[in-house]
Structure formats: C-alpha cells, structure tokens
Amino acid sequence: TLGYRVLYASTPKLFSKLKMAKADGSYLKEVAKIERQELLILDDFGIQPFDAQSRAALMEIIEDRHGKTSLIITSQLPVSKWYDVIGEKTIADAILDRIVHSAHRIELKGESMRKKRRTDDKEVSYQ
C-alpha cells in the first residue's frame, strides 16, 4: 500500500450515519474522522435529494476539504442535475462552486460494467 488514508462511502449511507451521529452526540467525532482522510470517495452521489441536515453536513465536509485534501464523487446523475438534488439555492451554489470549478471530470459512456458482467456470467456454461 502507499499509505494514503482513504474513506470510501455510499453517499446516502454516509449522510444517514451522520444523522444518527447527530442524534447520539458523536457527530463531531464522525466529521473529524472524515476530515483526517487524505481522500474521500462519495459513491452514488445524487441518488436521493439532500434534506436540510444532509445538505448542511455536505457543505461542512466540502468546506473542510476544499483546497486541502482530495475528493472523488461518482454519480449516475449528470452534474447539471446536482444543483436540484442538493436543493436550497445558496448552499447548492456554494457546494458546487467548491466542487465543480477545480474538478477533473471523467464522464464514462457505454454500458454499465455490472450489466456487462451479468451478461458474461450467463454465457459461461458449466459442465
């Protein structure tokens, strides 16, 4: 290994966990854990809209990382739709300003690898 501290998280699950942490008093500890990571990978971004609490947490995370550490966001949703999913215009503007303008975007085209893998698996015959 190269020794980088990385946190991979499903976006909906991470924000659900942060909500529970807020309720049980461990929120600051959870956010500090995220802050310590040199790379944060948010998978499935935009699958569900952000509510006020998740939006505020996202803003805090993005603000803490901006210009200091790395962030990878994966999404099935085009970036042009992220504004609506984040909601609340002012916060969405601030979040997207920090994410999009300094980003390297990679847009993949073609069939899903999961779908392709399922098709390949079906073609294998067992004797």
- The 10s digit of each residue's pLDDT in 18-68 is 999 999 999 999 999 999 999 999 999 999 999 999 999 999 999 999 989
CA distance 98 to 127: 55
Instruction: Find the distance separating the first CA and the last CA of the chain, reported in whole Å.
Output: 40
The share of the chain scoring above pLDDT 90, in percent, equals 73
- Containing structural domain, residue 21: 6-125
CA distance 127 to 111: 29
Residue pointed to by tokens 């969405």: 92
Is the residue at 1 inside a domain? no
Is the residue at 47 inside a domain? yes
According to the model, what pLDDT value does residue 109 have? 83
Is the residue at 116 inside a domain? yes
pLDDT digits (tens, 9 = 90+) for 55-76: 999 999 999 999 899 999 999 9
Rounded mean pLDDT, 78-83 = 92
Contact present, 72 and 42 (Cβ < 8 Å): yes
| 11: pLDDT strictly greater than 90 | yes
CATH of the domain at 44: 3.40.50.300
Task: At 56, list the tokens.
Answer: 């505020």
How many independent structural domains does the chain possess? 1
| 79: pLDDT strictly greater than 60 | yes
Hey, how many other C-beta atoms are within 10 angstroms of the C-beta on 23? 9
